[in-house]
A and B are shown apart, each in its own frame.
Chain A
Amino acid sequence: MSSVLDIKNLSIDFASKKKTYNIVKEFNLRIDKRMKYGIVGESGSGKSLTSLAIMNLLPEVLNISEGSITMQTKEKIDLTKLSPKEMRKVRGKDIAMIFQEPMTALDPLYTIEHQLVEVLRIHTKSSKKEMSDLGLEMLKKVGISRPAETLKSYPHQLSGGMRQRVMIAMALICKPKLLIADEPTTALDVTIQAQILDLMNDLSEEHDTSILLITHDLGVIAETCDRVAVMYAGQIVEETTVKQLFTNPSHPYTKGLLESIKSLGDKERDLYSIPGNVPTPFNYQEMGCRFASRCPHAMSICKTEPAMYQIEGDHKSKCWLHAEEVNLNDEQYLRVGSQ
């Protein structure tokens, strides 16, 4: 299968006046056609930044210092090298984005119709009637019960779930090749979450759209995605299929994450949490493995950075435990325990 998006060796830096700090490092990701790819990680792990980087929407203080983001449109293009004008053509047409906050993601001063049509007007040359009809059709597709009336209403007249449906309609109206959904269900009711995820799934299949789903909720990943990358402190620490992730989690951080899910039934057990805190980007540089300080398996060698090691097939983990040359008798592999 051909890849839709191929991110190679992406690094994002934060540049202050005195020093530059690396925030996201050596980020690799490949999304194939019709694939649903999940990125999971806690707040501050850099998952949203990565999605913004794809759209070239990084705030001014952050910049891509290394790597390429190749997108397969009519031809292969590197998104990091596009001029602002070329980038505007890609946004909305080839890559669309759904945001976390449906409450503020629609301009309160314009009707839904106006905002749907605005996207079309930028990227297509249809007549007003055609655009308006297409808008209506999209609203029907996203399951809005009274599409004609909704078309004429203002955002504040809609509920959160309805707005998120409108956002999905807006995102898919130009039939993009990739849909980036940044925590699309976090701000919604639990009952609505599943509906929205299903809707995204169905529509993306219908339109041949790949999905990049960013979330901190492993449940959402389990329900939606094919492949998943676990991010910690600006790096992917484990990358595999969703099935592998849940049946055979390898990186200690992933294990910790899965441990901390409370399931129905186990009433006795206290909720597990990974000890310690996420490191700040300002001391990333001095750290070897960025998870070492919180890791129950930490070893002396963890002061140097591990590479991405292949475990089996497509299952990769960034941990010394999975290094081929590992020899647990060697002194540098001595367990030092959680610090």
Chain B
Amino acid sequence: MKAFMQSLKNDKVGFIGFIGILLVVIVAILAPVIAPHSPSEIFNEHILQGPNAQFLFGTDELGRDIFSRVVFGAQVSLQVSLTAVGIGAIGGLVLGLISGYFQGKIDQIIMRVMDVFFAFPDILLALTIIAVLGPSLTNTMIAIGIVFIPVFTRLVRSAVMSVKENEYLTSAVAVGVHPLKIIAKHVTPNIMAPFIVQVTLALSGAILTEAALSFLGLGVQPPDPSWGVMLNASRAYMEFAPWTILFPVTAIVMTILCFNLLGDSLRDLLDPKLKS
């Protein structure tokens, strides 16, 4: 872990991404301390004010402090992306390992079901799931998670199949290692590089999907602050009050950028051949 942090430090771009994400996490955790106002507190006399000393990022159409809402929005975004990717990644990992390692009939069944999921565009699938479950924060997370399962399953399956070709797996069988132990200790670690990269990419994807769903009014429900909800609310005013849209967008873009930067450098760091 220490060596890992050291090599991360040497990789400037990855380090920036890492610091950026750390910052978002700290902001999310300390939101009640950092935010000067409650995210839903309405200041009637300060509607749609530009950034000033009292309201750092200005106020929105109801007179709420945009800075506080962006800060609290980080909580929602992280919560949604972490939970959703958790569901998708774990579900995909399990299904992909089963599919790729055992192959045969079970593989056919799993992959055909995944193909059905793949046939729907992401957002449409998420919309359908939410339409069934009803719009709420929890259901948004579940819906996005389910949307991600096929992507992970397919990735893990193909990685497992290529790892399986290596003789060290046959060799592990040949010295008498239990199949489940082989999956846990020799297959899973060896597919981690593409998997973790996919996780970081999915984290940013989840933030985007959450924003998109909230923008459509099917994700996080007002008055809960979410970056997507804020975009949705401010789209009518953005021409004469650009700050209402600028700050949540910046937050989304920066967070996604940081996740992608980190994901890129993780891919390099996780390759043992590059360990010196």
Hey, which bits of chain A sit against chain B, CB under 8 A?
A: 55, 57, 60, 87-93, 96-97, 99-101, 104-109, 118-119, 122-123, 154, 156, 167, 170
Contact = CB atoms under 8 A, between A and B. Distances in A.
Given A154-B272, A154-B275, A55 B190 contact: no
Contacts of A92: 174-176
16 contacts: A55-B174, A90-B176, A91-B176, A92-B174, A92-B175, A93-B176, A96-B174, A101-B167, A104-B167, A105-B167, A106-B168, A107-B172, A107-B186, A108-B168, A170-B171, A170-B175
A184 to B, nearest CB: 12
- Enumerate the 6 nearest inter-chain pairs by beta-carbon distance, A residue then B residue, closest first: A92-B175, A91-B176, A92-B176, A105-B167, A88-B176, A97-B174
Nearest to A91: B176
A105 B169 CA distance: 8
B177 A105 contact: no
A104 B176 CA distance: 18
A87 B173 CA distance: 10
Interface of B: 104, 166-168, 170-178, 186, 189-190, 272-273, 275
Contacts of B168: 104-108
B190 A105 contact: no
Contact of B176 (A106, A123, A156): A123
Contacts of B177: 88, 118, 122
B190 A118 contact: no
Contacts of B186: 107
Contact of A57 (B104, B173, B272, B275): B173
Contact of B272 (A87, A90, A96, A156): A156
A118 B167 contact: no
Contacts of A119: 175-176
A99 B170 contact: yes
Contacts of A108: 168, 190, 272-273
A34 to B, nearest CB: 22
A88 B178 contact: yes
Given A104-B167, A105-B168, A107-B168, A156 B175 contact: no
A123 B104 CA distance: 31
A297 to B, nearest CB: 40
Given A109-B190, A109-B272, A156-B272, A57 B170 contact: yes
Contacts of A89: 176
A93 B177 CA distance: 11
B93 to A, nearest CB: 17
A126 to B, nearest CB: 16
Contacts of B104: 60
B176 to A, nearest CB: 4
A222 B172 CA distance: 31
Contacts of A167: 171
Given A105-B168, A107-B168, A122 B273 contact: no
A315 to B, nearest CB: 33
Given A57-B170, A91-B173, A96-B175, 18 more contacts: A57-B173, A88-B177, A91-B174, A92-B174, A92-B175, A96-B174, A97-B171, A99-B171, A101-B167, A104-B168, A105-B167, A106-B168, A109-B272, A122-B175, A122-B176, A154-B275, A156-B272, A170-B175
